[in-house]
Amino acid sequence: MPMYTKARTGAGRVVQAVGGIVWAGCGLLMLVWTLYVLFSTFGAWTIFVGLLLAPVTYVASILIIWFATGDFPAMLLLPYLGSFAGMVIFAAGGAIAGDD
């Protein structure tokens, strides 16, 4: 295996790891915050429903927090957009490493 192929694969794995950490960290922060807002607004049963519909809860988290509290969560836009940026970085790392 040529040296540049090894370097390309290694660099791609590092970029994927960074993207995965950003994606998971920001995504979990948003999911936990949304479940907290649902719990404090509607009660304990919404945690079960929120976890059952976790992908929908994650995608709609900004709207859920906005409608439940009445204030737009501008501070939470950073981790929300950061989770999508982490997905893009993770995919770019796969392209660098040469994964299909």
pLDDT tens by residue, the chain, 100 residues? 576 667 778 888 899 999 999 999 998 998 888 889 889 888 888 888 888 998 888 888 889 889 988 889 888 889 989 999 999 999 998 888 876 5
CA 3 to chain centre: 34
Q: Locate 66 and state its tokens.
A: 């906005």
What is the pTM (predicted TM-score) of this model? 0.79
Tokens 């392209």, located at residue: 95
Task: Sketch the domain layout of the chain as residue ranges.
Answer: 3-97
Amino acid (one-letter) located at 88: V
